[in-house]
A = this chain, B = another copy of it.
Amino acid sequence: MPPPPAGPPLGLRLANTAKAVSQAFDEALAAAGGSRPSWLVLMSLKTRPLASQRELAAAVGIQGATLTQHLNSMESDGLVTRRRDPANRRVHLVELTEQGERAFHRMREAAVTFDRRLRTGLDRDDVTQLELLLDRLRANVNG
């Protein structure tokens, strides 16, 4: 069994890289007038516009009550509206406003630009390899 390699442990290196990348991404989103949670919410809504808030929270990876907080801000910022589903009045349908659509497009552009920057100097094989390795790390901690 080989000894572990030198330098900081893998988990710490991953965390440090993710921190640096996430900060840069958050700055890019902020420059486009957004934030990470609002971006994740808008992206999920554009993917499945009719999701209930429960589905939406699960898609974003947060609790329902946490989602409510973000939706409150987004609604008071005029990005989304909530109305009851006539078919089941317990369910609130979340929909993008015109302004929400524009915000989504601005953030998407920022995200695409950021991802291009992130990939600089990586060819397709590098990206595939990296994604594969990341998936294996996740499997190792989730198992």
The answer, yes or no, to whether A87 is at the interface (CB within 8 Å) is: no
- A66 on the B face (CB < 8 A): no
Residues from chain B with Cβ under 8 Å of A25 in the complex: 11, 15, 141
Task: Identify the A interface with B (CB < 8 A).
Answer: 2, 4-5, 7, 9-11, 13-22, 24-25, 61, 111-112, 114-122, 124, 126-131, 133-138, 140-142
5 A–B contacts, CB within 8 A, in A order: A17-B134, A17-B137, A120-B140, A126-B133, A133-B133
Closest 10 CB pairs of A and B: A18-B18, A24-B141, A17-B134, A9-B115, A130-B133, A120-B140, A17-B138, A20-B138, A21-B141, A11-B25
